Structure 1
């Protein structure tokens, strides 16, 4: 496997909201990688021949109305996209890679499993994972069903939750959610997961407003609790620009409006948000 090209699939917004994230992610992968890398940006498309095709008005293609992001359900299509052959890495766009991706690409997988991912007591995190595409065929819905069933994404999440034998756990720091309690030197892949505290907002939000459209995240924006991680993103952002990367490298014709969940009541995660006890009023009204 040492001569392989690492196949990375990244879920991202189709209206150019995630350009900063995309640039930093690609730069960070290639900065550290000892193997060649091929990145597929998974974005909703108006092209009827695209795997990511959607036409919400005509109710064709991907149905995103129950997704929290513009790409939540795409990860399940990757093994079929790869003709159920070889391996494939999936990542959300809000990731900075701080180590050689070769180690994740070649991570051992237990017999009978279909994906290597981060696990804990109550969930498996598939926001950075490695698919065994051939093994996954038996368990994943076909793209024809993934695209049309609005409940398909949740159905697949339930399949993974109810069948833990399908998961090979990997080292937690390959999907370090908002830094957790680790120093930067111990983080292999940083996932700045809380959509309200994402480092890219300081660049993306004013840019998209200037360009005359709205960002897909419509919840409350707040500072990240770890400023040194914020500074890390800024350093990689500036390094990418100095290395010749530009935001326009990732710009596409905007897809336009698509249905999705609102983030008005988005709560982030326990790593970035206070765990202070809620008032009775807040508990009653889920706020």
Structure 2
């Protein structure tokens, strides 16, 4: 599908309320590094809506039966992209826990040939089952038809598993033979960064920089976070909301690395909390 370099790049970000700051960092990185007009749309899995700049949130066509099967707040929303594009054109789907370092137009313009969508091959270590990583996808929306209600009926009957669907394993593809092509894997680097990385994906839910200190590539996330704050794209209200709701760690503003001062401050907070618990017990 040949596209003009002036065609806006359509990007869907799968997200939820708990992903407020991470998705805003991703959106900032997309715009900072793009030479093209971007049409960014955000799935909010908490509210079952899709949000777009300048428009009111709209409900998405996902049944509650399917919504409640999400492993994260947003796992199944990527499969709604072709229908929401009216089965026309192309679109990129990505998760919110990422930072984009390349020009996303490069991925959007990738030659898809006759493939339905492109994804990361052998994403989870298997060299035999071709476990596809769907956290970044380039989708030909005209070709691709997903039917989530049917898939989850078949999962419930034991025809294949949830993992088979989300990794496009042979047991799923035997019944739904999508043609899948390969993206450049540097467009979905799992917890890794080098000079060729175009997108870093913070996949480990326990070590993501906004949840834990000292991620080996967490300084990069904080660079974009601080720039987004300085530009006004991330507001003080956004940060306070994320803190009050415990979406991020309490010491988020102290950055990625431990220092003696930050260690002492955390120790003091923990000691005070422990003393309060002891006092409450004896009362």
TM-score range, shorter chain: 0.5 to 0.7
How far the C-alpha of 1:156 sits from its partner, in A, is: 7.2
Query: Shift in Å at residue 70 of structure 1?
Result: 0.5
TM-fit CA distance, 1:154? 2.5
Match of 1:101 among 101, 104, 111: 104
Does residue 80 (structure 1) correspond to residue 83 (structure 2)? The answer is yes
> Structure 2 residue aligned with 1:50, among 59, 76, 83?
59
Find the residue that maps to 2:59 and give its secondary structure: coil
What do residues 186-237 of structure 1 show as CA deviations (whole Å, max 9, x unaligned)?
11011111111111225xxxxxxxxxxxxxxxxxxx753x2xx110111110
- In 2, distance between residues paired with 1:192 and 1:178? 5
Structure 2 gap ranges (5+) = 50-56, 242-283
**Counterpart check, 1:235 vs 2:223:** yes
In the TM superposition, what is the alpha-carbon distance from 1:68 to its structure 2 partner? 1.6
8 Å contact from structure 1 (residues 20, 247) kept in 2: no
Give a deviation string over 1:105-158, Cα, whole Å, max 9, x none.
0111132x1111110124100001111011112xx21x6657888759938727
Native 8 Å contact 1:52 1:62 kept in 2:
no
Distance 1:247 1:22 in 2: 13
- Higher relative CO (Cα under 8 Å, sequence separation at least 6) belongs to 1
Cα distance in 2 between the residues matched to 1:83 and 1:52: 12
Question: In 2, Cα distance between the equivalents of 1:144 and 1:68?
Answer: 16
Distance in 1 of aligned mates of 2:86 and 2:164: 19
Coordinate RMSD, CA, aligned? 3.2
User: Alignment partner of 2:224: what SS?
Assistant: helix
Within the candidate set 177, 186, 201, 1:173 is matched to: 186
Write out aligned runs for 1:152-231 (5 A).
154=162, 157=165, 160-162=168-170, 163=173, 166-179=179-192, 182-183=193-194, 185-201=195-211, 223-224=214-215, 226=216, 229-231=217-219
Q: Please give the TM-score of this superposition, normalised by the length of structure 1.
A: 0.66
Q: Are residues 1:18 and 2:19 paired?
A: yes
- Tell me the TM-score normalised to structure 2 length: 0.67
1:103 match: secondary structure: helix
Whether the 8 Å CA contact 1:25–1:93 is kept in 2: the answer is yes
- Partner of 1:201, secondary structure, is coil
Q: 1:246 to 1:134 in 2, by over 3 A?
A: same
Contact 2:131 2:168 in 1 (8 A): no
